[in-house]
């Protein structure tokens, strides 16, 4: 990324000048060169402007990953608006409230929405269009790449990503142009990405990993990104071998599927990103062979900025830690009051610097940082003698299911909507494939009967599959502490989670 590429539109133009007809994206059976991205995003940007989309507006996107998705993300930036990617795995109970929170002026839908979309358009104050139709209509108009909102700057919000907090209420995180470009550039430098790299990803664009690290990688490095719209382990490994991929990325479930597939990654692979725990990392490294496995650390609220090992670091650093703070980022551990002194000091991980979001959307949203500018991650960690961060748990009561955040409160509320349920408590159970899954203990209302299977089906009908409890136990009475609160330690023993 050059010093002048402080906005997405500038980054697209600079990349088109440097790498022109090289392929930037391969998604499904479609390809997109750097020049085509510049031309098509200008065309779609012109169409969006004619539809009334202007600087400061929000455009929501509900779609699987596609070339049209990439073009549209850049077109939205070109007119000075913000893209709001929506999770296609959500069902109506989840999808409609977050669409309202996003407050878009326009909703863009992938072609798969024609056969069903959880977002109801009835009574909505904004129109919807299909991405493929937008692309076809825009292609009929010559590209005017000079027509750019000249007032855009690196501090302007260009993307908004949803994240789920411990209250169970989704929060919408604002991400600025300069921040996401710098985050992508920082990781590209650490991993030494370049034009000869072929970067395979099964990550969807509705998560920051997909919309920041993957989507922007070609613009900051010249590499070619190959995206699988719907994950299938055998097909992913086949594509990596056909493409002779050099880099890949994934959450723990992706690699768990690879481990049990009986298939191998290509010998061309030199680097793999993962977001998992050290024990699982070591299993994956054994599977990968000579390729370096790297586990960076960042959050949606920090545009994935935080810490990272270098891909040439020792296996001990790459697999057992999440590395050192990235350039320009401060990371510290804040021990609880009264904690014992002496290394290693364990406490909550705090992050400060350029990567931290300017804030959540909404008048009732909590502040992003404390008065000193520190973002409190809710994660527990400690630094080793070399300054590498080790993650050791979470303060926030969030269950991480295969890369998706699940609030126990949200699932508990869903269970409580069943007429037979009096009280519910949700916990995390370790899982070899997904990292963690949800389990639930439920007390039934007096005089009412219900089976565990019935209550699980109730959740499955209302929530995304990753939020549904994999085990549910009906209890007659709750173990309690001396103060009368439910003793979750005892509940963990009920599910044999203390092993």
Q: What is the pTM of this model?
A: 0.86
User: Rounded distance, CA 436 to CA 401, Å?
Assistant: 5
206: exposed, middle or buried (C-beta count within 10 Å: 0-12, 13-18, 19+)? buried
pLDDT of residue 7: 95
Reported residue count of the chain is 499
Asked whether this chain's domains 8-230 and 399-494 adopt the same fold, the reply is no
CB of 305 closer than 8 Å to CB of 354: yes
| The CATH number fitting domain 8-230, selected from 2.60.40.10, 3.40.50.12780, 3.40.50.1370, 1.10.10.10 | 3.40.50.12780
8-state DSSP, 486: B
CB of 135 closer than 8 Å to CB of 128: no
8-state DSSP, 228: -
277: exposed, middle or buried (C-beta count within 10 Å: 0-12, 13-18, 19+)? middle
Of 259, 209, 204, the residue nearest 234 (C-alpha): 259
User: Mean pLDDT in each 10-residue stretch from start to end of the chain (499 residues)?
Assistant: 70 96 96 97 95 95 97 96 93 86 94 91 86 94 73 91 66 96 96 97 94 97 97 96 97 89 95 89 94 96 96 96 97 81 82 97 90 94 95 80 88 91 90 94 91 97 96 89 65 74
User: Rounded distance, CA 270 to CA 110, Å?
Assistant: 33
43 three-class SS? helix
pLDDT of residue 341: 63
Helix or strand holding residue 238 (H, E): helix 233-243
| Helix 67-78 and helix 131-139, axial crossing angle in degrees, nearest 10 | 70
pLDDT of residue 301: 96
pLDDT of residue 277: 82
| Helix 34-50 and helix 131-139, axial crossing angle in degrees, nearest 10 | 100
User: Rounded distance, CA 136 to CA 145, Å?
Assistant: 18
Helix or strand holding residue 458 (H, E): helix 452-462
pLDDT of residue 14: 95
pLDDT of residue 150: 59
Of 75, 63, 65, the residue nearest 39 (C-alpha): 75
| Helix 177-190 and helix 8-19, axial crossing angle in degrees, nearest 10 | 40
Domain 301-394 carries which CATH code?
2.30.38.10
Fold designation for 399-494:
GMP Synthetase; Chain A, domain 3 (3.30.300)
pLDDT of residue 1: 39
pLDDT of residue 260: 86
pLDDT of residue 485: 63
Q: Where are the domains of the chain?
A: 8-230, 301-394, 399-494
């Amino acid at each position: 990324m050059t010093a002048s590429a402080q906005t997405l539109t500038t980054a697209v133009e600079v990349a088109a000048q440097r790498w022109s007809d090289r392929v930037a994206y391969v998604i499904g059976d479609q390809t997109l060169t750097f020049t085509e991205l510049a031309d098509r995003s200008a065309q779609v940007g012109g169409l969006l402007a004619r539809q009334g989309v202007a600087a400061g507006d929000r455009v929501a996107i509900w779609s699987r990953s596609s070339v049209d998705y990439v073009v549209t993300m850049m077109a939205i930036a070109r007119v000075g608006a913000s893209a709001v990617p929506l999770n296609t795995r959500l069902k109506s109970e989840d999808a409609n409230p977050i669409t309202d929170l996003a407050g878009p002026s326009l909703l863009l839908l992938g072609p798969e929405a024609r056969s069903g979309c959880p977002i109801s358009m009835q009574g909505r104050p904004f129109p919807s269009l299909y991405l493929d139709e937008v692309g076809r209509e825009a292609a009929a108009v010559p590209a005017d790449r000079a027509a750019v909102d000249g007032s855009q700057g690196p501090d302007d919000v260009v993307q908004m990503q949803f994240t789920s907090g411990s209250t169970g209420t989704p929060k919408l995180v604002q991400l600025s142009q300069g921040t996401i470009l710098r985050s992508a550039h920082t990781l590209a430098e650490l991993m030494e990405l370049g034009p000869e790299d072929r970067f395979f990803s099964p990550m969807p664009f509705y998560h920051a990993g997909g919309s920041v690290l993957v989507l922007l990688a070609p613009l900051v490095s010249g590499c070619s990104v190959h995206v699988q719209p719907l994950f299938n382990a055998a097909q992913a490994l086949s594509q990596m071998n056909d493409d002779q991929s050099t880099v890949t990325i994934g959450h723990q479930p992706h690699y768990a599927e690879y481990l049990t597939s009986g298939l191998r990654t290509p010998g061309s692979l030199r680097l793999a990103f993962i977001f998992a725990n050290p024990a699982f990392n070591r299993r994956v490294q054994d599977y990968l062979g000579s390729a370096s496995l790297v586990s960076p650390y960042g959050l949606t609220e920090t545009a994935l900025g935080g810490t990272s090992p270098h891909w040439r670091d020792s296996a001990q650093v790459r697999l057992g830690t999440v590395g050192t703070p990235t350039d320009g980022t401060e990371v510290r551990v804040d021990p609880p009051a009264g904690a014992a002194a002496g290394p290693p000091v364990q406490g909550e991980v705090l992050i400060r610097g350029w990567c931290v979001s300017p804030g959540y959307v909404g008048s009732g949203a909590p502040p992003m940082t404390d008065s000193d500018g520190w973002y409190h991650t809710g994660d527990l960690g400690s630094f080793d003698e070399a300054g590498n961060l080790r993650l050791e748990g979470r303060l926030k009561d969030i269950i991480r299911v295969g890369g998706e955040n699940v609030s126990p409160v949200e699932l508990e509320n869903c269970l409580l909507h069943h007429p037979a349920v009096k009280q519910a408590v949700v916990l995390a159970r370790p899982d070899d494939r997904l990292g963690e899954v949800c389990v639930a203990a439920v007390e039934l209302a007096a005089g009412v009967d219900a089976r565990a299977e019935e209550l699980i089906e109730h959740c499955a009908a209302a929530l995304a599959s990753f939020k549904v409890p994999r085990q549910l136990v009906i209890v007659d009475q709750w173990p309690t502490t001396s103060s009368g609160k439910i003793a979750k330690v005892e509940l963990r023993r009920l599910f044999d989670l203390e092993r």
